Structure 1
Amino acid sequence: MGLASQEAINQFKALMDQVDEPLNRTFKNVHQGYIVETLERFLKAREGNVTKAHKMLVDSLHWRLQNGIDDILAKPIIPSNFYRGVRDSQLIGLSGYTREGLPVFAIGAGLSTFDKASIHYYVQSHIQINEYRDREILPGATKKNGRYIGKCVKVLDMSGLKLSALNQIKLLTTISTIDDLNYPEKTITYYIVNVPYIFSACWKVVKPLLQERTKLKVRVLQGGGRDELLKIMDYSSLPHFCRRDGSGSGSRTGSGSGSGSGLDYLSDNCYSLDHPFHQELYNYMKQQSGIHEPIEPAKQGSIHVDVPLGDNEGEELHRTLESELKKLRTRKSLSESLEKVKISD
């Protein structure tokens, strides 16, 4: 049970039994019937300290109430062609499942541009994917596998990562803070692939600042990580950007053997709105809201979600990352200037 001892869980549960009805109602949407497992997540996020874990969870429940998170899946971003722009610039998708039944989320960290909408739309979309994962994807995986599945695997593609990423620090910090404080311990492993120099340079600086439990979750793989990832998932569940790596049939983009998930998520691009995962998610949100595709464009409007204050560790990490990116940008500018001088000579 790790940091979450039975005594700590019992104390935590006794405290949560005392919360009032509005908080208790939103707590049900968080635990989905798995109270102990949820308490364990928050305890682990606070190093087993019951008082701190209780405060973290209660603060999160207040955040959910104040920002209408329980109803966020009934508020799709419309019209759909505008939402397509969000999806094309905020690259995330479900590529399949591991052999143990854990969902595999692919994230285009390097190629996401976040330039098709305001920050509020991207935050709204991110939370909606989190909520759909927790309310539909994970419970579905739990039912199919006959055992509790409450975490996922994430594969982050760093292809295309540039120094201009500095411009996205505010948005990425916002999303990271929301996840850290309200969706803790939902990812069992982060696989980092297609790593360019800029990431390697930043990682050397940031890694020592991370808590040990966080460092243990991160695995930086060589190249596209294909061979390593095939140890835990079938070819059909590999994110599309991993399939070129390694020997053999790396060029395949069509159908392959099933992953045992019951869903065929094979696609050249699991980020696309046309991918089954995103189609299912968007149709689910439209069904929840009762909206149908409007004949005339509907008035666009994002949901403004308050961002909770991050902890000191998170703030230090973000400051360090921003500082390192600025240094790299300065070095690049200097190098380019020297190159121009050489050319002119």
Structure 2
Amino acid sequence: MGVVSQDALNQLQALMDQVEEPLKKTFQNVHQGLVTENLVRFLRAREWNASKAHKMLVDCLIWRVQNEIDNILSKPIVPPDLYRAVRDSQLIGVSGYSREGLPVFAIGVGLSTFDKASVHYYVQSHIQINEYRDCVILPSASRKHGRPITTCIKVLDMTGLKLSALNQIKLLTIISSIDDLNYPEKTNTYYIVNAPYIFSACWKVVKPLLQERTRRKVQVLPGSGRDELLKVMDYESLPHFCKKEGSGSAKHSVTGSQNCYSLDHPFHQELYNYMKQQSRIHEAVVPIKQGSFHVDFPEPPAEEEEIAKTIESEIHKFKGTNGDSDYNMAFKSMVIED
């Protein structure tokens, strides 16, 4: 790090040394022993301004304490049928690791419907996956490779993206805001695959609104992205929807153990078993209450609000000229060009 960044790091460290309980304890759960690396994350998110990074980090810690985020992995979504419904409609999973040891998260943006449970369950599920990544997956990868691994790779599958995605923008904005404010700089690269025309249109108007550090992380790949992704990971770590040479992927084209979205996939089995184990440990001290784990939704940053409004406006333009069926007929075979 250069002199300026080191100065900012020293300033932030001095400010955080003054933090008292219970914020100090939850900060330990955030940094997992990697204090410097986590301070740097918040500094990057605030353009190396130590006072702004300090406010962001303290706000994050307050949010964690007020919403009992440190205990969220001890509160599995029950019954299992409800959790399976969440997994079937909020498509996310881990397919493997890059050659550098970064976990590869696959996200089915286009085929996620978010229509099988309340918003609170989807938010709870998303935060649980974030916490499992930070408390279990990344520390395990760090130990395996003998160096700090603090970020992941995300492969976003746009298969099935339709104009009706407008109905999901509010929920997606909530989830995105939670990530931006409380889990900044956790993604090394976003790979966009199987992108239809509607994504191309939205991307053109959204891209200029993103901060430069975010734009640099986004790579839009042709088709399923298979050939490009094989440059950074082995075939076994490719998400199931990237293992074909052409574009597009069927939600149920592979078995549960191969489909990294499925509750039957090893990642989700390990995650759910871990949460059940944590639940039994926690329940011995505090009885578990049934029902969703309600988390306060943060006010979206101005950038998030502007992006959401821009996407809504762009989609409304399409709705004014084409229905979903007409759109699919016209643009079914089109993919994004970088």
TM-score, shorter chain, exceeding 0.5: yes
Instruction: Look up the SS of the partner of 1:192 in the other structure.
Output: strand
The answer for the alignment partner of 1:286 in structure 2 is 276
**How far does residue 333 in structure 1 lie from its aligned partner after superposition?**
4.3
Identify if the C-alpha distance between structure 1 residues 244 and 335 changes in structure 2 by more than 3 Å, giving closer, same or farther: closer
Instruction: Look up the SS of the partner of 1:331 in the other structure.
Output: coil
**1:97–1:103 Cα contact (<8 Å) kept:** yes
The answer for the alignment partner of 2:164 in structure 1 is 164
**How far does residue 319 in structure 1 lie from its aligned partner after superposition?**
1.1
Number of residue pairs the alignment of both structures matches: 314
**How far does residue 299 in structure 1 lie from its aligned partner after superposition?**
8.5
- Give the distance between the partners of 2:26 and 2:53, measured in 1 at CA: 17
The answer for the alignment partner of 1:134 in structure 2 is 134
Identify if the C-alpha distance between structure 1 residues 9 and 160 changes in structure 2 by more than 3 Å, giving closer, same or farther: same
**1:103–1:152 Cα contact (<8 Å) kept:** yes
The residue type paired with residue 330 of structure 1 is G
The residue type paired with residue 278 of structure 1 is H
The answer for the alignment partner of 1:311 in structure 2 is 301
Identify if the C-alpha distance between structure 1 residues 309 and 191 changes in structure 2 by more than 3 Å, giving closer, same or farther: same
Identify if the C-alpha distance between structure 1 residues 268 and 24 changes in structure 2 by more than 3 Å, giving closer, same or farther: same
The answer for the alignment partner of 1:211 in structure 2 is 211
Identify if the C-alpha distance between structure 1 residues 288 and 325 changes in structure 2 by more than 3 Å, giving closer, same or farther: same
* TM-score (structure 1 length as normaliser): 0.88
Identify if the C-alpha distance between structure 1 residues 89 and 3 changes in structure 2 by more than 3 Å, giving closer, same or farther: farther
**How far does residue 146 in structure 1 lie from its aligned partner after superposition?**
0.5
Identify if the C-alpha distance between structure 1 residues 4 and 185 changes in structure 2 by more than 3 Å, giving closer, same or farther: farther
**How far does residue 312 in structure 1 lie from its aligned partner after superposition?**
1.4
The answer for the alignment partner of 2:113 in structure 1 is 113
- Give the distance between the partners of 2:118 and 2:153, measured in 1 at CA: 28
**How far does residue 6 in structure 1 lie from its aligned partner after superposition?**
1.0
Superposed, 1:1-345 pairs within 5 Å as 1=1, 5-245=5-245, 267-290=257-280, 301-333=291-323
Identify if the C-alpha distance between structure 1 residues 199 and 299 changes in structure 2 by more than 3 Å, giving closer, same or farther: same
**How far does residue 32 in structure 1 lie from its aligned partner after superposition?**
0.3
**1:42–1:53 Cα contact (<8 Å) kept:** yes
- Give the distance between the partners of 2:235 and 2:325, measured in 1 at CA: 42
Give CA-to-partner distance per residue, 1:226-271, whole Å, 9 cap, x none: 000000000000000000016xxxxxx99xxxxxxxxxxx943001
* TM-score (structure 2 length as normaliser): 0.89
**How far does residue 307 in structure 1 lie from its aligned partner after superposition?**
1.3
- Give the distance between the partners of 2:92 and 2:142, measured in 1 at CA: 22
Identify if the C-alpha distance between structure 1 residues 335 and 150 changes in structure 2 by more than 3 Å, giving closer, same or farther: closer
The residue type paired with residue 31 of structure 1 is H
The residue type paired with residue 93 of structure 1 is G
- Give the distance between the partners of 1:151 and 1:187, measured in 2 at CA: 5
**How far does residue 318 in structure 1 lie from its aligned partner after superposition?**
1.1
Gaps of 5+ in 1: 247-252, 255-265, 292-297, 337-345
The residue type paired with residue 149 of structure 1 is I
Identify if the C-alpha distance between structure 1 residues 327 and 15 changes in structure 2 by more than 3 Å, giving closer, same or farther: same
The residue type paired with residue 332 of structure 1 is N
Identify if the C-alpha distance between structure 1 residues 3 and 44 changes in structure 2 by more than 3 Å, giving closer, same or farther: farther
The residue type paired with residue 129 of structure 1 is I
* Identity, % of aligned positions: 73
- Give the distance between the partners of 1:38 and 1:272, measured in 2 at CA: 31
**How far does residue 310 in structure 1 lie from its aligned partner after superposition?**
2.2
- Give the distance between the partners of 2:81 and 2:311, measured in 1 at CA: 34
